[in-house]
Structure 1
Amino acid sequence: MKRRPLFAAGFGLLAATGRASAQAGPVRTHALSLLGEPSLPRDFPHWPWVNPEAPKGGEVALTALGSFDSFNPFILRGTSAVGLSNLYDSLLVQSADEASTEYAHLAEWVEVPADRRGVSFELREAVRWHDGRPITAEDVVWTFEALRTHGRPFYRSYWADVTEVVAESPRRVTFRFRNDENRELALILGQLQVLPKHWWEGRDFARPLLEVPLGSGPYRLERFEAGRSLTLRRVEDYWARDLNTRRGTNNFDAIRFEYFRDATVAFEAFKAGQIDFRTENVARNWSTGYDFPAVRRELVKRDTIRHELPTGMQAFVVNLRRPMFADARVREALVNLFDFEWLNANIFFGLYARTNSYFSNSELASSGLPEGREKEILEGFRGRVPESVFTTEFRLPTTDGSGNNRDGLRRALELMRQAGWTVRDRRLVNAQGQRFEFEILLNGATFERIALPYVQWLARLGIEARVRTVDPAQYQVRTDAFDYDMTIDVLGQSLSPGNEQRDYFTCARAREQGSQNVAGICDPAIDELVELVIAAPDRQELIHRTRALDRVLLHHHYVIPNWHLRAFWVAYWDKFGRPERSPRYGLGFPDSWWVDPARERAIGEARRGL
């Protein structure tokens, strides 16, 4: 359900040689980290979790849902194809084994001044576009300005504290910052995927396009059928093929994405051998859907791969731009009517845990009552945040799982009465006799089995809710325009939250179409808390400030929290080799897996016998 990729985020910047602020002059380094010293030296041979001798070759077929009409994923217009991040390189590369740590890639060196009011990147001499032309600092400047001017609103909020970007030489680019308080900004800019200025000249960056774009990454777009499929081909003379950040990765000769309108049809294609690998996110499928001949013959493997990622917040999200949801008591009533325990017992096979925080599965999650430094921070907002923040531990209501949620119904009815709603003739109405009714917008049938029981529970209180399922393209258009009453969204989080919180929770983004402020949250106190998180001077202060933000968000009841899983569920045809372990903060597929020729031959022969 996630609508667009997120970047890492964080707090105070440390370089491989120590804190920039502690140095007499600028720090020149091969890596940046927000949580401590990077663990790998400049000359590390390869990522610790990859097989540097992994063979190259073979093709992998993957699933995509919906359709596409553009190869420009950076703008609001159009529906972008999947997999396009493989076409471009970034200045730095995120380590999947370290939290909020990035290593030099396009850039050979990173330089952080002592005052932390900027960052410079020096490009490697070898960096090239697929047409053979060198990647230059001018490309970096052009990319930054194009994205900030014409790209999704996310870029403008994420880079709001950049005042200037300058190409100081063909290989050196410098970004200057508004102040030294945005301590993650250098790392954020390292994530910039650089685009070719010379290729885009004469083309309108603000428009969707179905022309094969020029890139610099490990793959190029080889062929496509608009809306139905696309194939990426590994670049044999890729400039970074022997670089430590790429050795042992990008092992498939081709990655093919096949589009399906429906997730059920996509699953059937996997079972038939048309798709090679899938991540499963439906508990029912995981528990009962993999009893088919290829599994019984051990041609298809399943695995549960544990991870240490924060799980963020998946939830039913109300649109505060709709007056009916303006009262927090109404929103809390909707929370009380949601019976997670029944869902977990009857639909999820008991596999999920309830999400109680916007920063779940991390030390950043609030709990209990505020105390110590967190309470001190919140005291500065007393009278501007719910009083329950100080007096009541946030706990989601629980049931016995029987489906008879009488306590929740009573609490919800009382909250609705306090907010001016009463039940007349089995309908919940306000003083003007207007019925409480709304639509739940979904982008696929998978969540209908969750939304429909919720509709029934709402009906017990006289609320008329309707489920509207649209295709992913329609869903993107409607959510970008905030054209919904309620929907399901995922607010992904990292171990070091920062600038992306502006896009999630602030007034400025509540008004800007295409932002990730799905709920439409606009509260000056929350705006200030977000800025405190971004400006946290050290890790411990970041934890206190994030917990304070989390607690205030929870007590406003903006969302009906769903659930999370602390592992990846994966299923695949047994044609792959894989490293001995996965990275701590990622799946490792498709980057570090490879096609095993012997297994592929055996699978091919066995498929003919099915």
Structure 2
Amino acid sequence: MTKTYNISRITSLFSFLGLLAATGVVSAQDLATVESNPAPEAVHGMAMHGEPKYPEGFSHFDHINAEAPKGGTLRMAVVANGFDSFNPFVIRGVAAAGVNNYLYDTLLEYSADEPFSMYGLIAESLETPEDRSYVTYNLRKSARFQDGEPITAEDVKFSFETLTTKGHPFYRNYYADVSKITVESPHRIRFDFQQTSNRELPLILGQMPILPAHYWEDREFGKNGLTPPLGSGAYRVDSFEAGRSIIYERLEDYWAKDLAVRKGRFNFDNIRYDYYTDDTVALEAFKAGSFDFRVETSAKNWATAYSGDKFDDGTIIKEAIEHHRPTGMQGFVFNTRKQIFSDPKVREALTYAFDFEWTNKNLFYGQYARTNSYFENSDLASSGLPSGRELEILEKYRDQLGEDIFTKPFEAPATDGKQGLRGNLRTAMELLRSAGYEVRDGKMVHAETGNPLKFEVLLFQKTFERVVLPFKNNLARLGIDVSVRLVDSNQYVQRVREFDYDMITQAIGQSDSPGNEQREYWHSSTVSANGSRNYAGVNDPVVDELVDLVIQAPDREELVQRTRALDRVLLQGHYVVPHWHLAKDRVAYWSHLKHPEKTPKNGTDLDDWWAEP
């Protein structure tokens, strides 16, 4: 049907242009241009670079057990102070766990075993020209919301306009290059773009959750509180206890259950989340059988807490599942909006006070590796000195970059040499002196203003105090006064949204195909946008240009080189004190849960698991 429609439309267009050419309104050259750029063919899926792995008509993703049985209940725990909203798309409130994932479908679905490929879900197919200056989505006529109403192009338009005007600022930045939306028919919608260099847009628009326009017609978006919303996904809200628990129920008549991108997925009849305010209590509840699955983030717990009869006899399974996704950057993040952290020399000096080797040995049982890249565990990570194409990219900015970026490979400070921590603290002292600081009466102060160098580390996880306190003690040896403030998760979220902190611990995740989200992390346009993920307040014209270059990368090799250049500039900016990474998912689960034999490159995904009948 789609091809017939396209051929008819093209034939009519050529006939019309031929008439105009004959009358002199359109030149023969213009007509030749149109003939050399025919309308794009509708495709079932698309890769960011190259061709997608799965052909048209594929039955299911390779890493899925297509015969996985349906049934059972998956019980999960959330360590937080509850929830007060079912709307995950706005900056206000704390949304219940699972709302976005289980209630809403998107135009396209991603493949977990490719760098960045998307396949049709609500959209049966998409059309985009070679320059990707626009994209047209052809919606499935079978696509339905949970009340039985069809999903139409008007719903897609409504979703885009609502999310970018009333939703979280992230959406406005993420889709900033969309210039025009045209509803061509009830099941066909076109997005035009301001520039042709943003090749990712046809794919990331496909990630947009589709909202029902008819449902929100007489409701105010963002103020529905704890009224369960209408979605189109595989689950609906079955019941909840405000702030304490929520249960999702799988829909037997889910419209997409037999599609290739859904086969073998979303297998549990019910998914329940219970909220705990303390992680230690949650761990004990897991071992007692109160819930079924746990991702362990504490190396100490992993080494010491997962033992006993239930682990010995296989009732509970402990498994470290290897993955091949970028681990991103976790670290102490400096808020450079604050005057005390505005000087990169000060930021660099403080990195020398973090003793990773001691921390890894004494707190983490040697489980981690030091992070030296924002794109760690991938070919996107910079290393050594820049060369080849990466050096060529950086040469353009040589006058704006420090010479170290060309002559000194970045490596996070280590304490395993002869000098150890003492040598690192001497280096830190030298850097602080060059930044205008000196020690008076045992306190590090600015030589001109006399203002002390002191700051606060904001936390919401009590378990992280054991990492921060040794760092605090090392800084005290430099005369730097550090306080640690522990707040509840809701207060933490609000303060981070408003950039009301000096330093936080934060994990900045990355994909294998970085693109528009880099604006949200690093671009100067997000420095003052409350709720953005520019936690460090990066405000650098070179970074801005490199982010644009990453977004505009024409092929995979160029993407790799441009990302390495961005990585190197961010590292030399000393926006974080790098922590550590692990290329495994540490999971524990009760033995009635089963998962596919093959793990995709992106790692563990519970939506692919099932319960033994």
Kept after mapping to 2: 8 A contact 1:24/1:114: no
Give the corresponding residue for 1:139.
Answer: 155
Segment of structure 1 superposing worse, 118-127 or 287-296: 287-296
Matched AA of 2:350: L
Give the corresponding residue for 2:83.
Answer: 68
Distance 1:207 1:320 in 2: 33
For the pair 1:173 / 2:175, whether they are aligned, the reply is no
- The Cα of 1:436 is off from its aligned counterpart by 1.1
Matched AA of 2:238: E
Q: Which of the residues 200, 203, 214 maps onto 1:198?
A: 214
Matches within 5 A, 1:452-491: 452-491=469-508
Q: Which of the residues 538, 554, 576 maps onto 1:521?
A: 538
Give the corresponding residue for 1:33.
Answer: 47
Give the corresponding residue for 1:4.
Answer: none
For the pair 1:498 / 2:512, whether they are aligned, the reply is no
Give the corresponding residue for 2:174.
Answer: 158
Misfit runs of 4+, over 3 Å: 22-25, 401-404
Give the corresponding residue for 2:199.
Answer: 183
Q: Which of the residues 573, 589, 598 maps onto 1:556?
A: 573
Give the corresponding residue for 2:450.
Answer: 433
Distance 2:484 2:220 in 1: 38
Give the corresponding residue for 1:7.
Answer: none
Give the corresponding residue for 1:120.
Answer: 136
SS of the equivalent of 1:27 reads coil
Give the corresponding residue for 1:537.
Answer: 554
Matches within 5 A, 1:254-265: 254-265=270-281
Larger radius of gyration: 2
Distance 1:499 1:549 in 2: 14
Give the corresponding residue for 1:51.
Answer: 65
Distance 1:212 1:185 in 2: 31
Segment of structure 1 superposing worse, 67-76 or 396-405: 396-405
Kept after mapping to 1: 8 A contact 2:356/2:579: yes
Kept after mapping to 2: 8 A contact 1:163/1:176: yes
> CA RMSD of the aligned region, Å?
1.5
Deviations 1:324-349 (A, max 9, x none): 01111100011111110001111111
Deviations 1:430-455 (A, max 9, x none): 12322211110112112111111111
Matches within 5 A, 1:4-19: none
Kept after mapping to 2: 8 A contact 1:499/1:534: yes
Give the corresponding residue for 2:12.
Answer: none
Distance 1:518 1:462 in 2: 26
Distance 1:403 1:94 in 2: 49
Give the corresponding residue for 1:87.
Answer: 103
Distance 1:298 1:401 in 2: 43
Matched AA of 2:69: P
Matched AA of 2:318: R
Distance 2:463 2:51 in 1: 42
C-alpha change, 1:184 and 1:72, in structure 2 (3 Å) is same
For the pair 1:291 / 2:331, whether they are aligned, the reply is no
SS of the equivalent of 1:60 reads strand
Identity fraction in percent? 53
Distance 2:200 2:522 in 1: 18
Segment of structure 1 superposing worse, 169-178 or 531-540: 531-540
Give the corresponding residue for 2:33.
Answer: none
- The Cα of 1:576 is off from its aligned counterpart by 1.5
Q: Which of the residues 546, 552, 559 maps onto 2:563?
A: 546
Matched AA of 1:394: F
Distance 2:513 2:176 in 1: 18
Kept after mapping to 2: 8 A contact 1:386/1:556: no
- The Cα of 1:586 is off from its aligned counterpart by 2.7
Segment of structure 1 superposing worse, 154-163 or 429-438: 429-438
Kept after mapping to 2: 8 A contact 1:384/1:525: yes
Distance 1:152 1:502 in 2: 15
Give the corresponding residue for 2:599.
Answer: 582
Distance 2:378 2:317 in 1: 30
Deviations 1:189-222 (A, max 9, x none): 0111101111111211133511011011111010
Distance 1:417 1:208 in 2: 54
Matched AA of 1:266: A
Matched AA of 1:276: D
C-alpha change, 1:246 and 1:499, in structure 2 (3 Å) is same
Kept after mapping to 1: 8 A contact 2:131/2:199: no
- The Cα of 1:404 is off from its aligned counterpart by 5.6
Distance 2:487 2:224 in 1: 21
Matches within 5 A, 1:562-573: 562-573=579-590
Give the corresponding residue for 2:340.
Answer: 324
Give the corresponding residue for 1:10.
Answer: none
Matched AA of 1:68: F
SS of the equivalent of 1:257 reads strand
Q: Which runs of 5+ in 2 are unaligned?
A: 1-35
- The Cα of 1:293 is off from its aligned counterpart by 3.6
Q: Which of the residues 223, 226, 240 maps onto 1:210?
A: 226
C-alpha change, 1:52 and 1:231, in structure 2 (3 Å) is same
Matched AA of 2:117: T
Distance 1:385 1:511 in 2: 24
Kept after mapping to 2: 8 A contact 1:342/1:401: no
Deviations 1:489-537 (A, max 9, x none): 1111111111111111111101111100000010111111111111112
- The Cα of 1:236 is off from its aligned counterpart by 0.7
Deviations 1:220-243 (A, max 9, x none): 010011110000000010001111
Give the corresponding residue for 2:22.
Answer: none
Distance 1:262 1:401 in 2: 38
- The Cα of 1:401 is off from its aligned counterpart by 8.7
Distance 1:113 1:360 in 2: 33
- The Cα of 1:385 is off from its aligned counterpart by 1.6
C-alpha change, 1:404 and 1:395, in structure 2 (3 Å) is closer
Distance 2:478 2:496 in 1: 28
Matches within 5 A, 1:582-601: 582-589=599-606, 591-597=607-613
Distance 1:469 1:391 in 2: 41
Distance 1:178 1:422 in 2: 51
- The Cα of 1:371 is off from its aligned counterpart by 1.4
Deviations 1:242-296 (A, max 9, x none): 1111111111000000001111111111011101000111110111111234223
Kept after mapping to 2: 8 A contact 1:88/1:217: yes
Kept after mapping to 2: 8 A contact 1:356/1:561: yes
For the pair 1:223 / 2:223, whether they are aligned, the reply is no
